[in-house]
Amino acid sequence: MALLKTTSSVLVLCSVFATLQVSALVMVTMKDQVEVFQGDTAHIPCRATFSKTPSAVHVQWFVRGSSSRERIYFKDRNVSVADNGTGYTGRISIGDDNTLTIADVQLRDARDFICQVGGMSAGKGENRTELKVYVTPEFPVIEGSHSGFSVTSDEQSEIASCEVRNGYPQPNVTWYRNHSPLHPHENQITVVPQVTKESNELFSVKSSLLYKVSKEDKDATFYCEVTYSAPGSLKMVESERINITVHYPTTKVELVSESPQGLIKEGDTVKLRCRGDGNPPPQYTFYSTRSTSTEETELKSQSDLLTLEEVARTDSGLYQCKTLDLDTFEELTANLEILVHYLDPVVLKPSDTVIAVEGDRLIVSCNALSSLKTQVVWKKKGESISAGNTLTLTEATFDTAGEYVCEVSVPELPGLEKSASLMVLVQGIPRLNMHPETEIEETVGKFVNLTCEARAYPQPKIHWVISGTQDWREVFSHAGEQHVVSVVTVRVTSGLQAACNASNEAGFEEHLFAISATPLVTTSTAPSTTEGSGVIIAVIIVCILLLAILGSVLYFLYKKGRIPCGRSGKQDITKEKTTKDDIVVEMKAEKPAEETVLLQGVNGEKKPPSDQCEKYIDLRN
């Protein structure tokens, strides 16, 4: 029995050793998983290691079905072909390194792929790789409820829904409030998912958020986050942000002045707004208790806005807005005190028009009642001349006369200002304001303009006194309350005298114009003609005398033999045989014909050209 057990043990060990030796002959190495997006190309490597060099190698690829596996490709040293009718024909191929390539991967390709390598007598081995296929879902769509949610409700409300479509594998949805995730909580937060598998094997997920709102949610933002699988990673995408409408009761109100900013003055348009902390805003009612009355008056308003147009000082007083808390039925009230500032019309003493005698002292006061401190400025012709309520004019002159304006303003309230004017007239003897043309020098017969200007009150009158001519007239006149101007044009004569007189009830003043008349000078042109003719005759006589002298000098030089022929190669005139009566005349020919003319001597004898010295001709008696 012992021998039999020993023999059996040896046989078992030999069998195990033989099995291990055979299975170890071929080792196939593959990845556990290969991940791709739908539509992409998948590469599944397969590497075989032999314990000894095989005589021949063949490779077969299989896919695992629901109950069995199916071969899809075969390859050996002679054949490399995909099996027909497997759904992979035309989409798969095997490279030299036995890597399986699958084009246009679809969701149905998500399964195990088995690579089997045989080495004939060297044995065979196999391994598998799981192919995972992913589809990126569409961008999530979030939709909030269009109605409001009351904080007084005891139940949860569906405030929003988030839907993500066509993803693979199934995407997940997580809700967020202000970047904080919302996890299900009893009576506070409930998330209801709804998963749909589409006909194309893709997943769509719709998630509804049920939430019990509070007042703090009025400014909160809500959104959903979708996480989905992708090759080699887990990705995330966030939806748009939404706000929800939260209804909560009003617990307090306030009344504020929107315009104008700062102090209020008469004539302004005042806008008062009542603000409560509830939503939706409640209905408001406005009341006023004015300073002139103790009764409360209801005012007409537009919702939460009260508009008071062109307010007056009588509109000052207490203003209120009231509303009702519908939960507690408690009346809420807000108060605002309104003060309308004013500035009364300016009062001048004396007022309107003041007549002062020249040299007098004049005092004018200016006052205006106001609810605020005022500032007084006196102006004349637009320029400031004094400050304060009193204007003092000492020793009045005609320059003192004119319009004075008192401007009263409120420095604390720009735009609140009023003014009044006063006309000051200074009574006195007229004063003439004469221009430089009062001393005139002009030619007899010409016209000159004479100007007479006078200032005085009462209004002066100008009277002209002109003697020595009747040819004059007034060409301009202007009369103001204290100013008169008159301009006349006068023909100048040798005996001209002119004066202007300005007079009124207080007296007069006169001015005499100094006019110097220049006589008119006339000239004759006949003597000039005679004198010009005499000059011409004298010039002609002088020229004749000069020619005679020149001729005498030339003759004298000739007789002395000092005048040569003047050109080389010609016979010298002094060497010719001459008589004392011979006359030599130099003639400069202007034309060729004249050079051939032979001049006769005194005795009528003609001379040939050889006897002439170029342009010199010998004249003999």
Q: Are both 265 and 204 inside the same structural domain? A: no
Mean pLDDT of 435-459: 85
pLDDT(437) > 50: yes
Residue 339 contacts residue 316 (beta carbons within 8 Å): yes
Between CA 446 and CA 496 the distance in angstroms is 12
Residue 449 resides in a domain: yes
Residue 215 resides in a domain: yes
Between CA 88 and CA 81 the distance in angstroms is 11
pLDDT tier, 611 (very low <50, low <70, confident <90, very high otherwise): very low
Q: Are both 309 and 378 inside the same structural domain? A: no
Give residue 311's Cα distance to chain centre.
39
Residue 557 resides in a domain: no
pLDDT(121) > 50: yes
pLDDT tens-place string over residues 371-412? 999 999 999 999 999 999 999 998 898 889 999 999 999 999
What is the token pair recorded at 34? 């290969």
Residue finishing a domain among 518, 544, 575: 518
Residue 299 resides in a domain: yes
Structure confidence at residue 542 (pLDDT)? 84
Provide the pairing of β-strand 340-341 with 264-265.
parallel
Mean predicted lDDT score pLDDT of the chain? 84
Between CA 162 and CA 194 the distance in angstroms is 10
Q: Are both 161 and 96 inside the same structural domain? A: no
Residue finishing a domain among 402, 428, 454: 428
Q: State in Å, rounded, how far the first CA of the chain is from the last one.
A: 206
Between CA 152 and CA 214 the distance in angstroms is 8
Between CA 542 and CA 548 the distance in angstroms is 10
Between CA 290 and CA 259 the distance in angstroms is 19
Residue 583 resides in a domain: no
**Domain range for residue 66?**
26-134
Of 20-34, 222-236, 402-416, least confident by mean pLDDT is 20-34
| DSSP designation for 147 | S
Give residue 433's Cα distance to chain centre.
56
Q: Are both 202 and 236 inside the same structural domain? A: yes
Report the b/e string of 177-192 with b at 16+ CB within 10 A: eeeeebeeeeeebbbe
270 sits in which H/E element: strand 270-276
The CATH number of the domain holding residue 311 is 2.60.40.10
Q: Are both 142 and 226 inside the same structural domain? A: yes
Residue 211 resides in a domain: yes
pLDDT(525) > 80: no
Q: HSE of 41 in the Cβ direction (CA atoms, 13 Å)? A: 8
Structure confidence at residue 211 (pLDDT)? 96
Between CA 291 and CA 471 the distance in angstroms is 79
Mean pLDDT of 460-483: 91
Mean pLDDT of 57-64: 94
Structure confidence at residue 448 (pLDDT)? 92
What is the token pair recorded at 90? 């035309």
pLDDT tier, 569 (very low <50, low <70, confident <90, very high otherwise): very low
Q: Are both 212 and 284 inside the same structural domain? A: no
- CA separation, residue 78 to residues 48, 56, 59, 158, 496 (Å): 19, 10, 12, 68, 150
Between CA 615 and CA 586 the distance in angstroms is 7
Tell the burial category of 554 from Cβ atoms under 10 Å away from its Cβ (0-12, 13-18, 19+): middle
pLDDT(524) > 70: no
Residue 587 resides in a domain: no
pLDDT(441) > 90: no
Of 323-337, 456-470, 514-528, least confident by mean pLDDT is 514-528
Residue 618 resides in a domain: no
Cα angle for residues 530, 534, 538 (degrees, 5° grid): 175
Instruction: Give how many domains the chain has, as a whole number.
Output: 5
Q: Are both 143 and 241 inside the same structural domain? A: yes
Q: HSE of 580 in the Cβ direction (CA atoms, 13 Å)? A: 0
Tell the burial category of 456 from Cβ atoms under 10 Å away from its Cβ (0-12, 13-18, 19+): buried
